[in-house]
Chain A
Amino acid sequence: MDIKDIVAPFAVWKRAFEKPFTVRKPIDERPGAPRYRGFHINDADTCVGCGTCESICMNKAIDLVPVEGREPSAGDSGLRPRVDYGRCCWCALCVDVCPSGSLGMSNEYLWIDSDPDVFRYVPGVDAKPWDGAELGYRRAEGYRLLDMERVPMPETGHAEGVKSFLELVKGYSRDQAEREADRCVACGVCVASCPAHMDIPGYIKAVRDGDLETGLRLLYETNPFPEACGRICTRACESACAIGSGGDPVAIRWLKRYIADQVELADYGKSLPRAEPATGRKVAVVGAGPGGLAAAYYLALLGHKVTVFEKDEAAGGMLRYGIPEYRLPYPALDKDVDYIRSLGVEIRYGAAVGKDPALAKLRKDFDAVYLSTGLPAAYRLDVPGDDHPRVLDGVAILAAATRGEELGLGRRVAVVGGGNVAMDAARTALRHGCEVDIVYRRREVDMPADPEEIREAKAEGARLIERAIPVRVEDSGDGGARFVWNEAEMVQKEPGKRPVPEPIPGAVVTERYDSVIAAIGQGPDLAYLTEADGVEVRRMKPVTDRAGRTSVPTVFAGGDLVNEKKDAISAIADGHRAARAIDRLLGGKGD
């Protein structure tokens, strides 16, 4: 034996007091790298539950599940992603694609448990130690898998646009439409927000696939006014769009218009369903606006004989007489109306129900009646002097413009109100060469009009006067009117409610105008409903259920007359629902 063999074991003792190379238990803190792809985190309030993370996941590691205390609402499915770490491969595509940017990863990577089923959780909902982690993987700045910018819509410039009534929005080309459609992730969160619950992901896919016949068929399943709605819809869908949670929402309205614009009316029949065999039943529709004609379309499809009674000389209601042609040209509206008429729907023009024929006669001659008479009566300014001959009614001005009548507004015009009718009246007056002031009692942000319309009215030269409460109208003695208002300040009277304008004492302004256009809202004209008809009316509205049934079994009502939203698409949805209810009343299945 060598002497070394005896000494060597003792030699290692010299290391006895050095720091060991082994790892101490419990394990020393060893944080992951700052951008390490560790356990998922999710800001559950920012997340909209669109499921794009689930769609992109290569391993099906993500499920969308309902979570406690979170209900669906506009633009939020209420669902949240649940990650299964039995399948996740930590590629982080879910983080990179997330439209709202709510999903991320912490740099935490240690999670030890003897129960394999715990490694499945809803980030941001099931509390975890790494919630709110500052470090970890996030989508890099400027790096987006989705295209968050909308394909710009070609439009006529404001300076040029205000010179004529030509349509401002020119519509997408095929290339533009397909690129815009390609931005949609087909999550379907928008569908609930559409009053008609149109199959939005379905028709956008049709645009993407270049299959416009399918697109048109999907549009008509829930909406027989694609040309009109493709231009002027209030598009609640776009506010709900998941892509809008982190960028520009998909231009759903323009894509609808693209489909309808591309298919010739003569070719509609190739993609759209034919009417069922005639049932021999007859339905009267009162009012040829979008709601009445939507009801007529679906009733005609179900085989019923429909007659529409319209007091005016053309169909379309507010779409024709309330919306100027630079937003909705008449040929586009005529295309929608003509297709409905092609199904055998008869429209009797100049037939003011109540005068001729009476509602009682319709109830006698038809198996069912649908009332869709809208809100034709403009509210008055309700200030002293509002009966001055230079105080005009906004809706009447728009109707006169549609009819091509001389408006005679003069040079200086005040438009009172903050809704779309006010904006349309202002822009119509601008196109007649007037100088226009829009006078509104609250602030611009409080205006009920579409922000786009407000922006365009201003860009075209209208002056916006906010916080102005009308006081009276006086005669100016030179053929015009002196409009007097009181400047106001916004006061938060009750917490949680919107602030109200309070007049500032002494801050009274007087301006002389050639015309003062009142556009502060409209009410119904229910003169045609007599007591003998027996339709229950409460607060100036026929009382109906969801399907539009009134207190009289064969009388239905819908549209602006009844609903709160007061827009075309809600009226169309009402018409569709009522058509199905009427069909069931008449012995059909209602679908």
Chain B
Amino acid sequence: MRELAEKLAGRYGAREWRDQRRDLSSVTVDAQRMRDVLTWLRDEEGYVHLAFATAVDEIERKAFRLTYAVHNHGTGHGLLVHCEIDRERPVMESIHRLWGQAWTYQREMKEWYGIDFPGSPRVDEEFVLEGWEGPPMMRRDFDSLAYSDATYAERPGRETRDPAAYMKEKLYPEADA
């Protein structure tokens, strides 16, 4: 694995190689080199399988962290390739020509995080959230409570009690008398 790490570092400036498990490693590259890295891994290093692609909202760093999981069936080794993109301008190069199924993950990331993949088939169509009109809901600044309050009617029968006030009412109501 060390050899692959060094090759990736030399060719693509990859960094932060970590062996997560015996059969799983992770590495970070620049976003603009991601497609080249994945192409090379697929064509030259046997990582022919895209297992999944996903994103994490790194709001504190004003970034989205994208992860592409590829797998080498010959060696049984999996590799997580990370990159970060600007959270303010969340656009990433599509890889649907590398792996046909990639457009599904990209459509999911568009709907959940608002990350665009120009050219990716059906990227603007609804994925699982039918009729969703709110902001992308996996963004960490999505206020689910405010959204629910604005979108749904309150069901009758909801009431809550404050522990201290309830205990006072039950245990020492005369305190204010």
Q: Does B159 touch A at the CB level, under 8 Å?
A: yes
- Asked if A78 meets B168 with Cβ closer than 8 Å, knowing A60-B145, A117-B157, the reply is no
- Asked if A89 meets B164 with Cβ closer than 8 Å, knowing A63-B159, A65-B159, the reply is no
Q: Are B158 and A63 in contact (CB under 8 A)?
A: yes
Q: State which residues 127-177 of B face A: CB under 8 Å.
A: 144-145, 148, 152, 155, 157-168, 170-172, 174-176
The number of chain B residues with a CB under 8 A from chain A is 23
Contact partner of A49 (CB less than 8 A), chosen from B159, B163, B174, is B163
CA distance A89 to B152 in the complex (A): 15
Q: Are A65 and B170 in contact (CB under 8 A)?
A: no
- Asked if A188 meets B163 with Cβ closer than 8 Å, knowing A72-B171, A87-B148, the reply is yes
- Look across to chain A and name the residue whose beta carbon is closest to the beta carbon of B156: A117
Q: Are A546 and B174 in contact (CB under 8 A)?
A: yes
Q: Are A191 and B166 in contact (CB under 8 A)?
A: no
A30-72 toward B: CB 8 Å interface, digit per residue (1/0)? 0000000000000000000111001000111001111000011
A185-206 toward B: CB 8 Å interface, digit per residue (1/0)? 0011101100001000100000
Q: Are A64 and B161 in contact (CB under 8 A)?
A: yes
Cβ–Cβ < 8 Å partners of A546 in chain B: 174
Q: Does A77 touch B at the CB level, under 8 Å?
A: yes
Q: Are A79 and B144 in contact (CB under 8 A)?
A: no
Q: Are B161 and A197 in contact (CB under 8 A)?
A: no
Q: Does A120 touch B at the CB level, under 8 Å?
A: yes
CA distance A201 to B175 in the complex (A): 18
Q: Are A192 and B168 in contact (CB under 8 A)?
A: yes
Q: Does A261 touch B at the CB level, under 8 Å?
A: no
Q: Are B163 and A189 in contact (CB under 8 A)?
A: yes
Q: Are A50 and B163 in contact (CB under 8 A)?
A: yes
- Asked if A51 meets B144 with Cβ closer than 8 Å, knowing A192-B171, A192-B172, the reply is no
Q: Does A444 touch B at the CB level, under 8 Å?
A: no
Cβ–Cβ < 8 Å partners of A63 in chain B: 158-161
CA distance A116 to B155 in the complex (A): 10
Q: Does A86 touch B at the CB level, under 8 Å?
A: yes
Chain A binding surface SS class = loop
CA distance A77 to B167 in the complex (A): 6
CA distance A64 to B166 in the complex (A): 10
Q: Does A435 touch B at the CB level, under 8 Å?
A: no
Cβ–Cβ < 8 Å partners of A187 in chain B: 163-164
Q: Are B161 and A201 in contact (CB under 8 A)?
A: no
Chain A interface category by residue count: 20 to 34
Cβ–Cβ < 8 Å partners of B163 in chain A: 49-51, 64, 77, 79, 187-189
Contact partner of B160 (CB less than 8 A), chosen from A64, A78, A197, is A64
A79-110 toward B: CB 8 Å interface, digit per residue (1/0)? 10000101101000000000000000000000
Cβ–Cβ < 8 Å partners of B145 in chain A: 58-60
CA distance A64 to B160 in the complex (A): 5
CA distance A86 to B149 in the complex (A): 12
Cβ–Cβ < 8 Å partners of A192 in chain B: 164, 167-168, 171-172
Q: Are B166 and A79 in contact (CB under 8 A)?
A: yes
Q: Are B167 and A72 in contact (CB under 8 A)?
A: yes
Which of B162, B170, B171, B176 has the most chain A CB atoms inside 10 A of its CB?
A: B171
CA distance A51 to B167 in the complex (A): 13
Cβ–Cβ < 8 Å partners of A79 in chain B: 161, 163, 166
23 contacts between A and B (CB under 8 A): A58-B145, A59-B145, A60-B145, A60-B148, A63-B159, A64-B161, A64-B166, A65-B161, A66-B161, A77-B164, A79-B161, A84-B155, A86-B152, A187-B163, A188-B164, A189-B163, A191-B164, A191-B168, A192-B167, A192-B172, A201-B164, A546-B174, A591-B176
Residues of B within 8 A of A (CB): 144-145, 148, 152, 155, 157-168, 170-172, 174-176
Known: A58-B145, A65-B160, A78-B166. 5 other contacts (CB 8 A): A50-B163, A77-B164, A78-B167, A117-B155, A191-B168
In the A-B complex, the 10 residue pairs with the closest CB atoms: A188-B164, A77-B163, A63-B160, A192-B167, A72-B167, A191-B164, A72-B170, A192-B171, A64-B160, A189-B163
